[in-house]
Structure 1
Amino acid sequence: MSKTLGSGACGEVKLAFERKTCKKVAIKIISKRKFAIGSERDADPVPDVKTEIHILKKLNHPCIIKIKDFFDAEDYYIVLELMEGGELFDRVVGNKRLKEATCKLYFYQMLLAVQYLHENGIIHRDLKPENVLLSSQKEDCLIKITDFGQSKILGETSLMRTLCGTPTYLAPEVLNSFGTAGYNRAVDCWSLGVILFICLSGYPPFSEHKTQVSLKDQITSGKFNFISEVWAEVSEKALDLVKKLLIVDPKVRFTTEEALRHPWLQDEDMKRKFQNLLCEENKSTALHQVLAQPSTSQKRLLEGEAEDADTTKRLAVCAAVS
């Protein structure tokens, strides 16, 4: 393992290299000791690790992070594909805001990923820019959703009542659901709306720093902070999609399918760019797989060495018998 790529409350992510291919990977190290301390205050979080592993192993989508291995030792070690571009959060902060065309490319991929999750009965429950990773430092790149520690596998008619996620991105029904009606996959669509708002404007729609109105009241009323000078530079179609995702009533709020059909995302150039990026990644993956296999000459050399060793063994046995 090499340098630390990031850290959080329960662990850190380190850079490492695969022995066979020398390909870079990310290792998420989750401290069992910190979990033990945390479980004294909260509900036992250890199952979250196992849930994350279980979910990651069953998923296969180009816009969802891929798990390579898992080790349960003195700590938990999750080996993941490395995303060289870092977090979407840092990209937005570094640029103040993203170009609308870039937002569209990234958001289209987020929708595809979350649509796939929902089709497989999975709700992420903690979608935010920190949990969206970029494949490279280039502006046009693939994104992948990560961190499934809060995720839940849910039946078609099931509802959840657990208060979890990051406050700024929580849907109104999550804040109102504790011990009441519950909530479903629509919470992810609300979080996507918050992410899109931030990418387009460079600031969050709801903030704890607004002292006159609590964060909960801002969210449950659906009254987001709209700065007209900032949004004057954003297209009407983009703003319309944001509004459709930030509808308080989850029954009226856009689903991922509806969002993907929205006029703002009917952009063939953007979709072609995504397909090209996908092709580049597939070629790179195929190349690393080839490199991981021994060449024909290497195989022959290994086979020859094995034959020589076998001959030596047979001669030794014959000498011992005689």
Structure 2
Amino acid sequence: MDNRSNVLMQRYELGRLLGQGTFAKVYYARSIQTGQSVAIKVIDKEKIVKVGIIQQIKREISVMRMVRHPYIIHLYEVMATKTKIYFVMEYAKGGELFNKVAKGRLKEDVARKYFHQLINAVDFCHSRGVYHRDLKPENILLDENENLKVSDFGLSALAESKRQDGLLHTTCGTPAYVAPEVINRKGYDGIKADIWSCGVILFVLLAGYLPFHDSNLMEMYRKIGKADFRCPSWFPQDVRKLLFRILDPNPSSRISIARIRESSWFKKGLSLKSKVQDAESSTISLPDTDAAASSQHENASTSSQDKQDVSSRLSNLNAFDIISLSAGFDLSRLFEDPCPRKEARFISRKPASIIISKLQELAKCMKLKISKRDAGLFKFEGTKEGRKGFLSVDAEIFVLTPAFHLVEMKKTGGDTLEYQKMFDDGIRPGLQDIVWAWQGEPQPQQHNPQVEQQDELPPD
């Protein structure tokens, strides 16, 4: 960025400073081409290399690209120079949720709306194998319509970060919002830890102050460890019950997000539209592959209908999405030598229903469990434990054009070398019937000029 100009790479006009931290500053900006308002996070590359948080920045980029959701800040693109990295993100005009709570407690209906949106966003992250680990009102923004936007994934973890015990072990987060098992440093479930933080946020929204607070940090940790808190007199009975189930110091008995959704306080006042959105974002399991094989004829019509439903709700990729999925979006080369890849993408000219059938057939042949998460997202899981736990792979289908689909395969758990062997020996050859071209490889060459013209991707 040229200090003599407020124009970044001839694309964005930089405005006022929105905030800053140790390694980055966030500016308001406007796209010169479209006039769209954005927020640009400017990261000093020399500083992050010096303190050794390169992997954290790369993980944040990867995570934000994975979690595209109405209640999560959208990452439009990433640009870089020799000295700076630029995150071009959605601009949340309403500022931090913290600023709203700092003025006093919220009305119950308003708090319920924000909590509902928070749970939707966090549940979506978990379905992608992402654990935020620093949920708090300061990291939750509001757009111009007062809708919530979860931000700051700098401390987030991916499912592949789990150790052999299936738990995360890095102690991180903000003390007042962190779960007791994180403090104990004995390993923790990222999902359960995020749920605890959501409970603290709900308490803050309704009360206007923290459930666990003390000037002595160790005393505050003691209160957190024993879930030593009291609800104000104005809390309704149903929200008290919900809070005590969320802020359960025992993670194994702590309420799940599915149970939170079923609670009477959570469901109160929900519109039909919200219920439909919940249903669409919930996890739906496919039949076990062996069971499905034994009753294939009986369930043929239902399976066909399911595939049509999924096909009709696939995500469409815009220009920014396509750029972000390209090899040029990977900033690894800015920091170090290339490392073994944990993901692969291919373009298919087959209908989505055919792609889905092929994925199910592949799972059966390779003796993998397969489940459908959101529309277009499928999860493969190994049945035998490997060197770093059970191997898991996500396959997500996107619409490029009506005639072309992009499929992204990504390791989300287990050992990378075991994934590479499974990919090379099983996944890649097993999908060859539906692959038109793998990313980074030349598209098939046709001798017939007429056929070759038909096979070309349409221009942008």
TM-score bracket, shorter-length normalisation: 0.7 to 0.9
In structure 2, the CA distance between the partners of 1:271 and 1:199, relative to structure 1 (3 Å rule), is: farther
Aligned partner of residue 79 in structure 1, secondary structure: strand
Q: Report the Cα distance in structure 1 between the residues aligned to 2:270 and 2:119, rounded to whole angstroms.
A: 17
Contact 2:66–2:128, Cα closer than 8 Å, also in 1: no
1:77 alignment partner AA: Y
Query: What residue is the counterpart of 1:85 in the other structure?
Result: 94
Q: Report the Cα distance in structure 2 between the residues aligned to 1:208 and 1:260, rounded to whole angstroms.
A: 31
Q: Report the Cα distance in structure 2 between the residues aligned to 1:269 and 1:115, rounded to whole angstroms.
A: 17
2:250 alignment partner AA: D
Q: Report the Cα distance in structure 2 between the residues aligned to 1:199 and 1:168, rounded to whole angstroms.
A: 14
TM-score by length of 2: 0.54
Contact 1:158–1:184, Cα closer than 8 Å, also in 2: no
1:45 to 47, 53, 63: 53
Contact 1:86–1:134, Cα closer than 8 Å, also in 2: yes
Aligned partner of residue 102 in structure 2, secondary structure: helix
2:154 alignment partner AA: G
Q: Report the Cα distance in structure 2 between the residues aligned to 1:10 and 1:130, rounded to whole angstroms.
A: 17
**Cα distance, 1:10 vs structure 2:** 2.1
1:91 alignment partner AA: K
Q: Report the Cα distance in structure 1 between the residues aligned to 2:272 and 2:243, rounded to whole angstroms.
A: 20
Residue 67 (1) aligns with residue 75 (2) = yes
Comparing both chains, which one has the higher relative contact order based on Cα–Cα distances under 8 Å and sequence gaps of 6 or more? 1
Q: Report the Cα distance in structure 1 between the residues aligned to 2:154 and 2:236, rounded to whole angstroms.
A: 35
Contact 1:132–1:144, Cα closer than 8 Å, also in 2: yes
**Cα distance, 1:18 vs structure 2:** 1.1
Q: Report the Cα distance in structure 1 between the residues aligned to 2:15 and 2:148, rounded to whole angstroms.
A: 24
Aligned partner of residue 248 in structure 1, secondary structure: coil
Structure 2 regions of 5+ residues with no counterpart?
A: 1-13, 278-318, 320-460
Query: What residue is the counterpart of 1:106 in the other structure?
Result: 114
Q: Report the Cα distance in structure 2 between the residues aligned to 1:273 and 1:99, rounded to whole angstroms.
A: 19
Query: What residue is the counterpart of 2:445 in the other structure?
Result: none
1:221 to 202, 211, 226: 226
1:264-303 mapped onto 2 (5 Å cutoff): 264-269=265-270, 272=273
**Cα distance, 1:183 vs structure 2:** 3.5
**Cα distance, 1:71 vs structure 2:** 1.5
Which structure is higher in helix share? Answer: 1
Residue 15 (1) aligns with residue 24 (2) = no
Residue 247 (1) aligns with residue 248 (2) = yes
Query: What residue is the counterpart of 1:318 in the other structure?
Result: none
1:69 alignment partner AA: E
1:153 to 155, 158, 173: 158
Contact 1:115–1:257, Cα closer than 8 Å, also in 2: no
Query: What residue is the counterpart of 1:166 in the other structure?
Result: 174
**Cα distance, 1:72 vs structure 2:** 2.3
Q: Report the Cα distance in structure 1 between the residues aligned to 2:271 and 2:46, rounded to whole angstroms.
A: 46
In structure 2, the CA distance between the partners of 1:271 and 1:252, relative to structure 1 (3 Å rule), is: farther
Contact 1:105–1:274, Cα closer than 8 Å, also in 2: no
In structure 2, the CA distance between the partners of 1:46 and 1:150, relative to structure 1 (3 Å rule), is: same
Which structure is higher in strand share? Answer: 2
2:200 alignment partner AA: V
Query: What residue is the counterpart of 2:43 in the other structure?
Result: 30
Structure 1 regions of 5+ residues with no counterpart?
A: 277-288, 290-322
